[in-house]
Amino acid sequence: MKKIIAVMMALAIVLSFAACGAKENAETTAATEATEPEIATEATEATETASQTEESLTDESAASEEATEASTAAESESSTEATEAETTTEKETESTTEAKKAPEGKAEIVKYFNESINKVKPDAKSITQNYSKITLAGSMTLPSAINGVLRLLGGADKFIGDQLAKNSKGKEVLSDKKAFPVENETWSSKLTEGDVKSATCTEKDGVYTITITTVADGKSSSVTHGQGHAPKAFNVVLPGVVNDNIPGVAAGIVGTAAMNYPSSTVKVTVDAETGHVLTAVYDSYWTINFDKAGVVIPFLTSTSYNIAW
């Protein structure tokens, strides 16, 4: 009975750590012939006058040409500047449009997700956790002896359910933004394309909705944040945290805890203009295994956040 109680103590302690988790020209010609001196003189004077007039006209023509050329050059320069301005505007518009284009394909979506979610901790004004709920995610495997004891406490489901309820939380503004996934880290995601089973992005009214599901992680007793798949983006319960908090006697009975993380999903909404994450919902699946004691318990932690900027 003492061994069974110790196992139960280990289970209770383990469960208590579940929450740690965008131109013109002019020409003039004058010809005069003279036969008498007076006439010649008059002709000469007339010729001189005509010559002066022609020179004047020539000067005026040259000035007109220069003015026309200057005007043409100015018009050409103005036209060039207008064309360049239009080209620049077009490029800026194309750049803006490209910047606001929704990410497509798994690699592009994962990259965009990382860039957006990693701005939350350092730049967000506040993070509100709407809820954090822990529930069973399937059937448990427990030794018959443990099942026997739990029947005395109202059954295994009730006992585990009570423990989980104690670790579920309601609405609260996070006093420490590092509690946002991934907890106790300066970053929120290190996901790569290889860590992701599926990734989708839709757009409506200037808001992107991105949903990412991770590849399942196998069982491990030593995985830490940033390793595997889910631990790169979720507040997973780490085996080390569990093992460090099991009393010696209970540890001798249940053995070392190992964790595996089935495919988990994170869904975020992002303002397309700013790239700011507005909401985030994490559905994290994790299974605790005590192989020595034959204990396998699957869990689901669902957490919702609102982010203010």
pLDDT single digits (tens) 139-177: 899 888 878 877 877 888 888 888 888 888 999 999 999
Q: Write the pLDDT tens digit of every residue in 246-273.
A: 888 778 888 899 999 999 999 999 999 9
Quick one: angle between helices 144-152 and 156-167, nearest 10? 70
Is pLDDT at 237 greater than 60 in this prediction? Answer: yes
**Residue 14: inside a domain:** no
pLDDT at 177: 97
Boundary (domain end) residue, out of 47, 65, 99: 99
**Residue 120: inside a domain:** yes
No. of helices (H) and no. of strands (E), the chain = 8, 9
Same domain for 203 and 164: yes
Buried-exposed string 202-226: b where 16+ CB fall within 10 A, e elsewhere: eeeeeebbbbbbbbebeebbebebe
Same domain for 116 and 91: no
Same domain for 242 and 93: no
Boundary (domain end) residue, out of 73, 99, 125: 99
Same domain for 123 and 71: no
Same domain for 153 and 258: yes
Instruction: Say which residues have a Cβ less than 8 Å from residue 13's Cβ, sequence separation at least 6.
Output: 245, 246, 247, 250
Q: How many domains does the chain have?
A: 2
The parent domain of residue 72 ranges over: 33-99
**Residue 4: inside a domain:** no
**Residue 3: inside a domain:** no
Q: Write the pLDDT tens digit of every residue in 197-209.
A: 999 999 999 999 9
Separation of alpha carbons 253 and 293, rounded Å: 7
Same domain for 242 and 171: yes
Q: Write the pLDDT tens digit of every residue in 42-57.
A: 444 444 544 454 454 4
**Residue 263: inside a domain:** yes
Cα separations in angstroms, 286 against 6, 72, 76, 162: 23, 77, 71, 18
**Residue 16: inside a domain:** no
Which position has the token pair 């383990």? 14
Same domain for 55 and 192: no
Q: Give pTM, 2 decimals.
A: 0.72
Same domain for 302 and 217: yes
**Residue 161: inside a domain:** yes
Same domain for 269 and 253: yes
140 alpha carbon, distance to own chain's centre: 37
Boundary (domain end) residue, out of 99, 132, 155: 99
**Residue 17: inside a domain:** no
Same domain for 222 and 112: yes
The pair of three-digit structure tokens given for residue 124, joined into one six-digit string: 């967000």
Same domain for 175 and 237: yes
Same domain for 296 and 149: yes
